[in-house]
Amino acid sequence: MAILAAAKHRIKGLILANTQDRADSPGQTRFRQKYLQIAAEGGYEELVAGQADIVFHPDSARLEHLKVVRERMVIGYGVERFMAHLKACITRADSRELLRTSSMPVLVVAGEDDIVIPAKLQQAMAENIPGCTYRTIAATGHMMPLEKADKFAQLVVDWIDVQVSH
């Protein structure tokens, strides 16, 4: 969103997956600040390991290979990036007007069962964007691009093909 705000002319299209266009609520900010404190006190790996049931759809949470991939991602991401991500979310600007006034093609893809950023919130974001294409992927949570990578990739490729042919 920061690139869109700073250099809209450099972007030909936008794909938003399992994200939102609003600034954090006071409750979300408090939640993230609590996570910052836990991570700063050495609890990063335990904290994110405990989120598997929140970020995955229940069917995906049982798949051992996804657990292994996520664990590697968590370790590779590291506490510093995690904390920077939380701080960025806390200070994130509301982007509804920016997206509403953009004239580029936009695809919003939501995990149908995302608990972190519910699909209906993502659908509301898509409805605010003129000409936006909105899609959900069934039986997925917040880790939708990992849970159903083939379906997600096909949605993206199909959408890009439509944009290129216009």
10 and 46 fall within a common domain: no
Domains in the chain, number: 2
Of 63, 91, 119, the position where a domain reaches its end is 91
- Tell me what percent of the residues of the chain surpass a pLDDT of 70: 100
Of 64, 91, 118, the position where a domain reaches its end is 91
Q: pLDDT (tens digit, 9 = 90+) per residue, 117-157?
A: 999 999 999 999 999 999 999 999 999 999 999 999 999 99
Structural domain range at position 33: 25-91
Residue 125 and residue 117 in contact, taking contact as beta carbons nearer than 8 Å: no
119 and 156 fall within a common domain: yes
Cβ neighbors of 74 (< 8 A, separation 6 or more) are 45, 48, 49
71 and 116 fall within a common domain: no
pLDDT of 49 > 90? The answer is no
Model pTM?
A: 0.91
Of 41, 72, 91, the position where a domain reaches its end is 91
Question: Distance between terminal CA atoms of the chain?
Answer: 24
Q: pLDDT (tens digit, 9 = 90+) per residue, 7-42?
A: 988 999 999 999 999 999 999 999 999 999 999 999
64 and 54 fall within a common domain: yes
119 and 146 fall within a common domain: yes
55 and 72 fall within a common domain: yes
For residues 131 and 120, what is the distance between their CA atoms, to the nearest angstrom? 18
pLDDT confidence tier of residue 166, bands split at 50, 70 and 90:
confident
36 and 86 fall within a common domain: yes
For residues 131 and 97, what is the distance between their CA atoms, to the nearest angstrom? 15
Q: pLDDT (tens digit, 9 = 90+) per residue, 63-122?
A: 999 989 998 998 999 999 999 999 999 999 999 999 999 889 999 999 999 999 999 999
60 and 32 fall within a common domain: yes
Cβ neighbors of 28 (< 8 A, separation 6 or more) are 89
Q: Where are the beta strands (DSSP E) in the chain?
A: 14-17, 106-111, 133-137
The CA-based angle 26-3-28, given to 5 degrees, is: 10
| Residues facing residue 17 across a β-bridge | 109
Q: Comparing C-alpha atoms, which of 75, 41, 52 is closest to residue 141? A: 52
Across the chain, mean pLDDT equals 95
